[in-house]
Structure 1
Amino acid sequence: EWIEDLKNKGYAPLKNPGTYGEAISDLSDESLEKILTWISQHQEEFMRAWLDGYTVEKPQLFYLKNKLTGKYLRKSKHTKDDWNEDIDRVETVNNKTKFTQQEIDSMQTGSYEQIKVEEEK
């Protein structure tokens, strides 16, 4: 989005992106710092994205269904460590029910079946 915004404002890729001035004034200092740090560490990727375009990959998400109980794993969005398995359906309002492979790999999920979340259209 940032690259497209700069292009729409008529900017070209610069060796020092910190000199974009007003074009980036709508960003918080923290966001700007993250962007500039990433660009400085990935200059070639930044230029390829600017010149050739880019695709933002979305990670595959999974539901975790207990093979024994048939219930889905959920994590409360309100507390840090509140994991439960008492829901029969996957969509709930205040709970996280979709997990990335990276999240799953960090948990002990031996008794859970991974069910791919189909992309919403």
Structure 2
Amino acid sequence: MLSIIACKSTPAVQNGYSARLQGSWQLIRASGGYAGKDQPIKELRNLCIHENKYQVWQRDSMAASGTFTVKDAKWITNGQQGPALFLERFPFGQQLSLRNDTLQLTDLVYDGYTYIYVKQGGSCFR
């Protein structure tokens, strides 16, 4: 299967979400994949964002790091254009939804996953 995702970066999209994404986010739920089921969260996982950089921590070990951008992209859930998070070194973007202290990221691929994070106090960026 071949997927083509058109994206455009605009300063309003990038700046509007980048500031709200800053800080430490703890993963509380993961669901999806082929079966569409909830996946158990077996260990602490944090997404840390500082300026245009990210780090993914699992327990006390860094699992991934790099830069990110926020761009408009076609959401896979409803076919509409909306903000998406693109992490350096990841093969596809993630639909981005922010509400209060909750961050929802949904893979922009069929049979992908949805990850729900809750904002934590302070910064975990090292």
Tell me if TM exceeds 0.5.
Answer: no
Q: Which has the higher helix share?
A: 1
Q: If each structure's strand is expressed as a fraction of its own residues, which one has the higher value?
A: 2
Q: TM-score, normalised by structure 2?
A: 0.23
Point out the structure with max Rg over C-alpha. Answer: 1
